[in-house]
Amino acid sequence: MNEDPREKLNYDATFSCIQCGSCLPACPTYKTMGTETQSPRGRINLVKMAAEGKITLDELKEPIDLCLGCRACERVCPTNVAYGKILDSAKVALNEHEQVSVKKFQEDIYYNQVFSKKNVMGAGANLLWFYQKSGLRSLAEKTHLNHLLPESIATFEEILPSVSSPLHRHHRPDRIEPKQTPRYKVGFFKGCIMDALFDRINDLGMRLLAAGGCTVVAVDGQTCCGALHHHGGRTQQAKELAKQNIEAFETEAFDYVINTAGGCGAMLHEYPELFADDPSWEKRAEAFAARSIDISELLARLDLPVEKEIRKRVTYQPSCHMTNVQKVVDEPKQLIHSVRGIDFRELDNPDFCCGSAGIYNVVHFDESMKILDVKMGDVKARNPELIVTTNPGCLLQMKAGIEREGLQDHVRAIHLVELLAAACGLEDEDK
Ligand code: SF4
Ligand code: SF4
């Protein structure tokens, strides 16, 4: 007999919530939607009620779907409620409960045949390059054909970066040696979306690490981190991807495994949780997670040749998963401060999610834009010329925010790696 999907709900964890409401002001969906069911406390109660059979899983679905998974609520909770675990359990239960549907079929294709397949992501990047460089994109703009796209797709189509040519991709180095005696040997985790759309940032990240004295190796056989699968309730697929990455980075003795994407980094950090019931993999996952760190954590410890002055007003939009899961808060700001000439302007509420949240901004476009509008209010009050981020999703979302506010002539969103590469003379920051 099939197991009741409600058995998957993490009922026990819901009892840590004492209903104090301290998490409500930190929750972006509570702020923009204003209802208890779209708050952390409300969602925890609903999970408890679903586990007790007081509401159906269908009634649980919308509040869970509309949660960003930013985990800002965990950070402020006085009883350390494991909200992420409660949320993930709800996603698993809902995924098992959902009958065959067109939406589920489409999602399965994206999860199983796109993000997790390096060659498919590469082919997608090549197609995008052709679309951008062949004149098709300009034609679509001139003939207003792009207006036929759904608003969510059109918004992000406009702000996609120029992707590298297939030839350039083919010749990217997968190993860089430093000029000096190596201080560390690091594996470089490329990610799927990060490397398809922002391979230039990954390449700059590898060069920065080498400039700081590291041997850097982008090992073969690595794949998507599995975050989208895991947070979409597809635990088995996330486990398979995790195993592939763990094995790939075991092929050489690395001091660290470095990533440039806050969301991916959080997933790598939490690999041991995927294998809590599998002792043969748990130890390997723990060893892998212990070495997996965000690039800013290592760059802050290296002697980077930060020599060029950058006279710009700069603000920093942290990745929620970097802050709330990896707990990396100070290093990116330390690195920004290390660049001479920068006028740093901290956001009033940096921990408020930008609304990107994986593919939330595409799937829940309207809700995401309301959250982005709150974030952009904070950004505009700081009047920056550069918005620095540490995650591809946040980077695209901030670019969307700049367009939405009509600030594109004097504000740019860049990755921290791009700023540092410019300050170290590896590349012009206006590129
Ligand atoms: S802060 Fe923690 S204990 Fe308080 S309502 Fe929110 S989740 Fe529950
Ligand atoms: S994860 Fe973020 S959006 Fe979801 S309940 Fe917590 S604070 Fe709100």
Could you give all domains of the chain from N- to C-terminal order, each with its CATH number? 5-98 (1.10.1060.10), 103-159 (no CATH), 171-300 (3.40.50), 313-424 (3.40.50)
Does the beta carbon of 82 lie inside 6 Å of ligand 2? no
Nearest residue to 224 via CA among 260, 191, 247, 201: 191
Tokens of 77: 């909770």
* Cα–Cα distance for residue pair 325/262, rounded to 1 Å: 9
Query: Quick one: which ligand is closest to 354's CA?
Result: 2
Å from CA of 83 to ligand 2 middle? 8
351 phi/psi in degrees, rounded to 5: -80, 0
Q: Whose CA is nearest to atom 2 of ligand 1?
A: 77
Does the beta carbon of 234 lie inside 6 Å of ligand 1? no
Q: Do the strands 214-217 and 292-294 form a parallel or antiparallel pair, or are they unpaired? A: unpaired
Residue 363, Cβ density class (10 Å: 0-12 exposed, 13-18 middle, ≥19 buried): middle
Tokens of 109: 């294709």
Q: Whose CA is nearest to atom 8 of ligand 2?
A: 27
* Cα–Cα distance for residue pair 280/272, rounded to 1 Å: 11
SS3 assignment, position 317: strand
398 Cβ contact list (under 8 Å, min separation 6): 317, 354, 379, 387, 389, 413
Å from CA of 293 to ligand 2 middle? 24
Per-residue pLDDT of the chain (431 residues), as tens digits, is: 568 999 999 999 999 999 999 999 999 999 999 999 999 999 999 999 999 999 999 999 999 999 999 999 999 999 999 999 999 999 999 998 887 566 666 667 666 766 667 777 777 777 877 777 777 777 777 777 666 677 777 777 777 778 888 888 888 889 999 999 999 999 999 998 888 889 999 999 999 999 999 999 999 999 999 998 998 889 999 999 999 999 999 999 999 999 999 999 999 999 999 999 899 999 999 999 999 999 999 999 999 999 999 999 999 999 999 999 999 999 999 999 999 999 999 999 999 999 998 888 888 999 999 999 999 999 999 999 999 999 999 999 999 999 999 999 999 999 999 999 999 999 765 55
Instruction: Return the amino acid letter for 58.
Output: D
Does the beta carbon of 312 lie inside 6 Å of ligand 2? no
Q: In residues, how long is the chain?
A: 431
Does the beta carbon of 25 lie inside 6 Å of ligand 1? no
Point out the ligand 2 atom lying closest to the alpha carbon of residue 353. Answer: 2
SS3 assignment, position 381: helix
Q: Which of 22, 31, 67 to mutate to test the pocket of ligand 2 (most atoms within 8 A of CB)?
A: 67
DSSP H or E segment with residue 413: strand 412-415
Å from CA of 69 to ligand 2 middle? 5
Query: Quick one: which ligand is closest to 43's CA?
Result: 2
* Cα–Cα distance for residue pair 191/217, rounded to 1 Å: 14
DSSP H or E segment with residue 131: helix 118-133
